[in-house]
Amino acid sequence: MNKIMKKSEVVSLATGLTRPSRDEAEAAVRTLIRWAGDDPDREGLIGTPDRVVRSYQEFFSGYDEDPAEMLQRTFEEVEGYDEVVALRDIRLESHCEHHMVPIIGRVHVGYLPDKRVVGISKLARVVDAYAHRLQIQEKLTAQIANTLQDVLQPRGVAVVIEAAHQCMTTRGVHKSDVTMVTSRMLGAFRDNGETRREFLTMIGRNTI
């Protein structure tokens, strides 16, 4: 028998999981405040559960978005353009899935078109859709590149991410000014050293 979903239940598009209610989410925040050692009913904290839940809706909005759908509209009137298209320094704001603290950095995306291109804002939206989920940087890098390759079917895709992880800078080993760099090269960017170097030059890097 199929499960009948209540009207009040909200299902994540990305995972298919049913979310707790807003009241349950706010109650969980109140529990964490008490666990931290403070009183959720004092003046400065009484509105915090509501604010945290609203913040989470923004931080993790990617669970309600379909990155592949964002790339469906493409353009073929490109006058034969067949060189690298690169979008660099896309602001990255994500959260570590291990400690739920921020990952802040930038993403560089490039692809080698095969007859069609996509609006550049869509590249940034794909980055945001995956970034606004609980992540590790390696997986995020692969998800962006694989989606662009699967949907656009270009001759190649390149993604480089440079980011600082607060799970390392503000806790644990407390090492500030450390940047993690990951990359995924597909198609011509993996097979052709000259194409890969062209992209790296465009984003201001000599090597990965």
Q: Which residues are catalytic?
A: 96-99, 137, 165, 167
C-alpha 112/C-alpha 130 separation (Å) is 22
CA atoms within a 13 Å half-sphere pointing along the CA-CB vector of 192 = 13
Q: Where are the beta strands (DSSP E) in the chain?
A: 74-75, 85-96, 102-112, 117-118, 134-135, 156-165, 180-187
Rounded alpha-carbon distances, angstroms, from residue 175 to 94, 170, 205: 19, 8, 24
Closest CA relative to residue 161, chosen from 115, 127, 191, 198: 127
Q: Please, what is the end-to-end C-alpha distance for the chain in angstroms?
A: 52
Q: CA angle 157-149-69, nearest 5°?
A: 125
- Per-residue DSSP letter, 2: P
192 close to 110: Cβ distance less than 8 angstroms: no
